[in-house]
């Protein structure tokens, strides 16, 4: 299979100045005419051929405008090669495509009766022959022609410049986008859609019309997204001084979509999951996610669209940077500390395992077979952490100057990661040579701290070492440039002021140490009381660390650290260590040990904490996931970890039953649902309490849960009661399942949660037959990625005991699903393969059947590049 290498990058031989597209939309035979004006790249050799991409296409017509004779060309391996007639010329190309047969949801396809597109990364080549690479930026003029009755709304990028009634039942609309863009940002939509409209006036005085389109029945669920969009526009102006640059900003909600959303210039296309929000269809977490994704796509207008990527190896240039920006936005509008903890949880649950597995790759990958496989947590979330470290190292004002320089220098260009770093260097005057390693070295660095306090000299010595484990193709690593944000807490939990021996200045109560070597020692003086170190505050680098703290110190930090992230983190470490100890004891003795008193006491202090905001407290009282605990084991046994974790939950739940009951009562509300961060936090804490209480489902608690389920007016609370009731095997489950179905049946997004909650919460062998049965449900569809993710994704990723069934039945199910889906939708199939990639880390009785499932996939005939790449790398 063809491997694409960063080193092989060459600029294009021909650039495109203008492309004029005309679509005659027809579900089974859409005619696409492209008039593309090419101009030879100034550096290209004069005899360079013109090379165009095209997949699953046949040209019906190919001619050079103004020339009688037909051009010479040949087509091979999805490439059309043509001898150019001149330095600059216009090619007319007509292709015919069948959107109704496009089940890969890549290129032009049909979702719920509407035409829509997804062109990132390489979908445009399924529409017409074109240099489908991001460093070719062109002005687009697009005319859409379609039946007026069936497709009254016609949309494309930019401003609408003309409309016409064609007299034969068809109508047309023409759009012009004044900003040159790569083909991956092209979009069109045609359908019968409802519109929600609003306005925003930019700081520059531009009056922008904001349009949100969705199916008629869900247009009343778009208000939250509209508010989020306005907040994002305002936030970017105040934080970055960047304003929107067209007269219209359109967002279309689409039911069948592979990704979360897509930042096409002026015409975002969104998975409905990240647009629609109403009390009965979206959970609190989804209300937050809508704000985050709306902001993410909006922020791409500058970091992605105005400045795009030179090639796909630079993907994190736009994605890491834009995730960093949307995270900062959410931190500002929701809660900084809650947001930080959630971002870290996401990184640890997805990126750390990826970085420790067979598909590990640097933030700037060196090679790929299928670029769609590289829209990963490493590119997005680790990429965002790398940007965040730059902000930490340079400080916000200098970082912002670097951003301004980046925009000033590269606006209108297809840029590289290297150019971005150069801007940060030029703005700060600092050498970021070593920092660049974050982009090219894969793997999660591991820090080990050791410290000693000398009361006589009032000195505190902190020693730290770093190592980065080998990853595929990278056996040894150089030390990285790692910011360590730290403080030394006195016995009251207050940070003491810091002064390094030989250092000129007093550093204040918190400082950032810059580790650049494999080992370093820092000596602080004037430390009057034995301190507890608070290290990596705010998660100052995407690393793992061992702070070498005993349980007492962890409990102290869990209760007292004035850094909210570290307070949460200390509780997580304490829980992981406690559970791992108990796992060891269970293995030795064959029976579950009692919950250690030390943990119970520490937990009690937290649950009695009256000061923390409820959302933070809910996070603090949540145990680390089974997956995260397993990552800490050489050979992971999901069944054992699950059992021990459940045992801890049950022990805590019965011991603190009165406290959980009082938490529940205090945060219960009869008010009608209204989303706000504060309300969401209260619901989270209340539902967490109920979740614990239902570990011991006695009548009082069951009554509370049923009351909540029957009386609540929102899906957050329905699921908050329904999920744990299902898990504890309440006899009312099937009745509740039916009631919940009737509440959800009119919303695909609500139904997704009806599906996923069932396959997640039903434990053991029953879950597999349930998952299989649900794939036969009339509301399930293999063509809708959200549905596949709700059933197959939740089963494989969120139900460890069922997926890892010892007879291999869970693996067999996933493997068969992947093999079948691969023909229809390779991107989705390849995503599902990631549940198999960590097979080497499992206990032998599981790793063997997992490996077998991967091998059977590899042996599947006609495997797509997408699936082949993940499977073959996993087995390598």
Phi-psi region of 406 (alpha: psi -120 to 50; beta: other; left: phi over 0): alpha
Residue 64 binds: one of ligand DPP, Zn ion, none (C-beta under 5 to 8 A by kind): none
Rounded Cα–Cα distance for residues 561 and 44 (Å):
60
| Three-class secondary structure of residue 621 per DSSP | coil
Cβ 55 to ligand DPP shortest distance, Å: 19
Residue 322 or 775: which CB sits closer to Zn ion? 322
Residue 52 or 415: which CB sits closer to Zn ion? 415
59-64 and 88-97 beta bridge pairing:
antiparallel
Q: For Zn ion, which stretch binds (CB under 5 A), given 32-40, 104-112, 311-319, 713-721? A: 311-319
Residue 261 binds: one of Zn ion, ligand DPP, none (C-beta under 5 to 8 A by kind): ligand DPP
- CB distance 233 to 202 below 8 Å: yes
Cβ 835 to Zn ion shortest distance, Å: 23
267-271 and 248-254 beta bridge pairing:
parallel
- CB distance 624 to 575 below 8 Å: yes
Q: For ligand DPP, which stretch binds (CB under 6 A), given 261-269, 391-399, 412-420, 758-766? A: 261-269
Closest of 124, 287, 274, 125 to residue 214, by C-alpha = 274
Question: Per CB under 6 A, does 262 bind ligand DPP?
Answer: yes
Kindly state the number of chain residues that form the binding site for Zn ion, as judged by CB under 5 A. Answer: 2
Cβ 120 to ligand DPP shortest distance, Å: 5
- Cβ-based neighbour number of residue 325 at 10 Å: 25
- CB distance 218 to 257 below 8 Å: no
Q: For Zn ion, which stretch binds (CB under 5 A), given 313-321, 682-690, 723-731, 787-795? A: 313-321
Question: Per CB under 6 A, does 120 bind ligand DPP?
Answer: yes
Cβ 290 to Zn ion shortest distance, Å: 15
Residue 298 or 795: which CB sits closer to ligand DPP? 298
Question: Per CB under 6 A, does 106 bind ligand DPP?
Answer: no
Which residues are CB-contacts of 297 (< 8 A; sequence separation ≥ 6)? 251, 261, 262, 263, 268, 270
544-546 and 446-454 beta bridge pairing:
parallel
Q: Residue 286 to residues 250, 280, 677, 749, 750: CA-CA distances in angstroms?
A: 21, 12, 12, 10, 11
Per-residue interface string for the shown chain with Zn ion, residues 317-336, x marking contact by CB under 5 A: --x--x--------------
Q: Residue 645 to residues 648, 654, 722: CA-CA distances in angstroms?
A: 5, 14, 21
Question: Per CB under 6 A, does 319 bind ligand DPP?
Answer: yes
Question: Per CB under 6 A, does 297 bind ligand DPP?
Answer: yes
Q: For ligand DPP, which stretch binds (CB under 6 A), given 53-61, 70-78, 256-264, 579-587? A: 256-264
Residue 120 or 631: which CB sits closer to ligand DPP? 120
Residue 262 binds: one of ligand DPP, Zn ion, none (C-beta under 5 to 8 A by kind): ligand DPP
Q: For Zn ion, which stretch binds (CB under 5 A), given 76-84, 315-323, 436-444, 839-847? A: 315-323
Cβ 815 to ligand DPP shortest distance, Å: 28
- CB distance 369 to 2 below 8 Å: yes
Cβ 330 to ligand DPP shortest distance, Å: 15
Rounded Cα–Cα distance for residues 563 and 510 (Å):
10
Cβ 342 to Zn ion shortest distance, Å: 18
Question: Per CB under 6 A, does 869 bind ligand DPP?
Answer: no
Q: For ligand DPP, which stretch binds (CB under 6 A), given 122-130, 255-263, 410-418, 593-601? A: 255-263
Per-residue interface string for the shown chain with Zn ion, residues 262-301, x marking contact by CB under 5 A: ----------------------------------------
Question: Per CB under 6 A, does 354 bind ligand DPP?
Answer: no
Cβ 319 to Zn ion shortest distance, Å: 5
Task: DSSP letter for 842, please.
Answer: B
Catalytic residue among 286, 297, 370, 391: 297
Q: What is the secondary structure of 304-365 as a DSSP string? A: TTTBEESSGGGHHHHHHHHHHHHHHHHHHHS-HHHHHHHHHHHIIIIIHHHHTSTT---SS-
Q: For ligand DPP, which stretch binds (CB under 6 A), given 160-168, 258-266, 415-423, 439-447? A: 258-266
Residue nearest to ligand DPP (CB): 262
Residue 384 or 653: which CB sits closer to ligand DPP? 384
Residue 182 or 677: which CB sits closer to ligand DPP? 182
Question: Per CB under 6 A, does 135 bind ligand DPP?
Answer: no
Residue 342 binds: one of Zn ion, ligand DPP, none (C-beta under 5 to 8 A by kind): none
Residue 318 or 340: which CB sits closer to ligand DPP? 318
Task: DSSP letter for 378, please.
Answer: I
Residue 259 or 512: which CB sits closer to ligand DPP? 259
Residue 274 or 754: which CB sits closer to Zn ion? 274
Residue 383 or 538: which CB sits closer to ligand DPP? 383
Closest of 282, 277, 272, 220 to residue 251, by C-alpha = 272
Across 72-81, b (16+ Cβ under 10 Å) vs e yields: ebebeebebe
**Going along 478-534, which residue ranges are E strands?**
482-489, 498-499, 506-508, 511-515, 519-524, 532-534
Phi and psi angles of residue 467, each rounded to the nearest 5 degrees, phi first: -135, 150
Cβ 118 to ligand DPP shortest distance, Å: 8
Q: What is the secondary structure of 51-96 as a DSSP string? A: EEE-SS--EEEEEETT-SSPPPEEEETTEEEE--SSSEEEEEEEEE
Alpha-helix residue ranges (DSSP H) falling in 712-808: 715-727, 733-744, 748-761, 766-775, 785-788, 794-798, 800-803
Q: For Zn ion, which stretch binds (CB under 5 A), given 141-149, 314-322, 650-658, 863-871? A: 314-322
Site for Zn ion in 493-512 (CB under 5 A): none
Pick from 259, 333, 580, 739 the residue near ligand DPP by CB under 6 A: 259
Question: Per CB under 6 A, does 263 bind ligand DPP?
Answer: yes
Cβ 250 to ligand DPP shortest distance, Å: 15
Cβ 568 to ligand DPP shortest distance, Å: 27
Question: Per CB under 6 A, does 291 bind ligand DPP?
Answer: no
Rounded Cα–Cα distance for residues 436 and 342 (Å):
26
Rounded Cα–Cα distance for residues 267 and 190 (Å):
12
Rounded (5°) CA angle 231-237-239: 95
Kindly state the number of chain residues that form the binding site for ligand DPP, as judged by CB under 6 A. Answer: 8
Site for Zn ion in 694-713 (CB under 5 A): none
Cβ 316 to Zn ion shortest distance, Å: 10
For 805, the token pair is 């069934």
Q: For ligand DPP, which stretch binds (CB under 6 A), given 260-268, 357-365, 621-629, 740-748? A: 260-268
Residue 379 or 842: which CB sits closer to ligand DPP? 379
Closest of 250, 249, 246, 274 to residue 260, by C-alpha = 274
Cβ 310 to Zn ion shortest distance, Å: 17
Question: Per CB under 6 A, does 261 bind ligand DPP?
Answer: yes
Q: Any catalytic annotation for residue 514?
A: no
Rounded Cα–Cα distance for residues 37 and 130 (Å):
11
Rounded Cα–Cα distance for residues 85 and 48 (Å):
11
Residue 213 or 312: which CB sits closer to ligand DPP? 312
Instruction: Please identify every residue annotated as catalytic.
Output: 297
Question: Which residues bind to ligand DPP, rule: CB under 6 A?
Answer: 120, 259, 261-263, 296-297, 319
Question: Which residues bind to Zn ion, rule: CB under 5 A?
Answer: 319, 322
């Amino acid at each position: 299979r063809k491997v694409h290498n960063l080193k092989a990058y060459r600029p294009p031989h021909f650039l495109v100045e203008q492309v004029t597209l005309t679509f005659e939309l027809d579900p089974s035979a859409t005619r696409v005419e492209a008039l593309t004006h090419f101009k030879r790249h100034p550096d290209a050799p004069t005899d360079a051929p013109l090379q165009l991409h095209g997949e699953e296409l046949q040209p019906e017509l190919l001619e050079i405008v103004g020339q009688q004779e037909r051009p010479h060309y040949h087509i091979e391996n999805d490439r059309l090669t043509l001898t150019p007639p001149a330095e600059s010329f216009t090619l007319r190309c007509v292709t015919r495509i069948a959107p109704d047969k496009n089940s890969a949801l890549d290129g032009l396809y049909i979702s719920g009766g509407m035409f829509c597109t997804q062109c990132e990364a390489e979908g445009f080549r399924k529409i017409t022959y074109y240099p489908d690479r991001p460093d070719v930026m062109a002005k687009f003029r697009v005319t859409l022609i379609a039946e007026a009755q069936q497709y009254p709304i016609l949309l494309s990028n930019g401003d609408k410049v003309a409309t016409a009634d064609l007299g034969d039942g068809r109508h047309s609309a023409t759009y012009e986008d004044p900003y040159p863009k790569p083909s991956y940002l092209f979009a069109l939509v045609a359908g019968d859609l409802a519109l929600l409209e609003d306005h925003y006036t930019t700081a520059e005085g531009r009056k922008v019309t904001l349009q949100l389109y969705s199916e008629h029945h869900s247009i009343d669920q778009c208000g939250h997204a509209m508010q989020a969009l306005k907040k994002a526009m305002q936030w970017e102006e105040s934080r970055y001084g960047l304003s929107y640059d067209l007269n219209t900003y359109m967002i279309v909600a689409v039911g069948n979509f592979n990704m979360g959303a897509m930042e096409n210039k002026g015409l975002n296309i969104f998975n409905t999951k990240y647009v629609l929000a109403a009390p009965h269809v979206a959970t609190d977490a989804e209300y937050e996610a809508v704000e985050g994704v709306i902001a993410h796509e909006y922020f791409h207008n500058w970091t992605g669209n105005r400045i795009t990527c030179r090639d796909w190896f630079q993907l994190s240039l736009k994605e890491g940077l834009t995730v960093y920006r949307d995270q900062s936005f959410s931190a500002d509008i929701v809660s900084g500390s809650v947001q930080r903890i959630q971002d870290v949880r996401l990184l640890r649950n997805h990126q750390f395992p990826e970085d420790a597995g067979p598909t590990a790759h640097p933030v700037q990958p060196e090679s790929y077979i299928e670029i769609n496989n590289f829209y990963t947590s490493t590119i997005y979330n680790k990429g965002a952490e790398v940007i965040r470290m730059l902000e930490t190292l340079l400080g916000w004002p200098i970082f912002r100057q670097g951003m301004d320089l980046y925009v000033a220098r590269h606006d209108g260009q297809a840029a590289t990661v290297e150019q971005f770093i150069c801007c940060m260097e030029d703005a700060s005057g600092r050498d970021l040579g070593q920092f660049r390693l974050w982009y090219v070295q894969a793997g999660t660095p591991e820090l080990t701290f050791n410290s000693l306090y000398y009361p006589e000299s009032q000195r505190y010595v902190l020693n730290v070492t770093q190592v980065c484990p080998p990853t595929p193709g990278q056996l040894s690593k150089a030390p990285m440039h790692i910011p360590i944000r730290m403080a030394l807490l006195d016995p009251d939990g207050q940070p003491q002021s810091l002064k390094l021996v030989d250092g000129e200045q007093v550093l204040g109560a918190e400082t950032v140490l810059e580790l650049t070597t494999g080992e370093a020692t820092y000596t602080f003086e004037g430390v009057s009381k034995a301190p507890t170190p608070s290290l990596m505050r705010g998660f100052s680098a995407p690393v793992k660390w061992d702070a070498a703290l005993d349980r007492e110190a962890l409990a102290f930090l869990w209760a007292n650290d004035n850094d909210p992230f570290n307070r949460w983190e200390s509780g997580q470490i304490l829980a992981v260590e406690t559970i791992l100890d108990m796992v060891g004891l269970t293995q030795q003795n064959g029976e579950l040990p009692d919950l250690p008193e030390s943990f119970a006491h520490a937990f009690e202090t937290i649950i009695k904490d009256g000061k923390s905001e409820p959302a933070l407290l809910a996070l603090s009282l949540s145990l680390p996931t089974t997956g995260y605990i397993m990552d800490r084991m050489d050979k992971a046994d999901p069944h054992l970890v699950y059992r021990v974790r459940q045992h801890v939950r049950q022990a805590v739940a019965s011991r603190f039953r009165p406290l959980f009951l009082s938490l529940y009562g205090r945060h219960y509300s009869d008010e009608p649902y209204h989303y706000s961060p504060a309300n969401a936090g209260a619901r989270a804490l209340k539902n967490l309490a109920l979740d614990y209480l239902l570990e011991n489902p006695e009548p009082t608690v069951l009554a509370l849960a049923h009351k909540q389920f029957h009386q609540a007016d929102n899906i957050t609370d329905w699921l908050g009661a329904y999920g744990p009731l299902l898990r504890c095997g309440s006899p009312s489950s099937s009745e509740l399942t039916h009631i919940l179905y009737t509440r959800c049946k009119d919303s695909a997004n609500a139904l997704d949660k009806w599906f996923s909650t069932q396959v997640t919460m039903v434990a053991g062998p029953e879950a597999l037959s349930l998952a299989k049965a649900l794939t036969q449900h009339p509301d399930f569809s293999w063509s809708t990625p959200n549905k596949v993710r709700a059933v197959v994704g939740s089963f494989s990723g969120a139900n460890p005991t069922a997926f890892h069934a010892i007879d291999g039945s869970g693996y067999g199910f996933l493997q068969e699903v992947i093999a079948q889906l691969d023909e229809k939708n390779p991107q989705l199939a390849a995503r599902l393969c990631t549940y198999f990639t960590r097979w080497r880390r499992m206990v032998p009785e599981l790793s063997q059947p997992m490996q077998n499932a991967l091998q059977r996939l590899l042996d599947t005939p006609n495997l797509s590049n997408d699936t082949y790449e993940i499977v073959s790398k996993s087995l390598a």
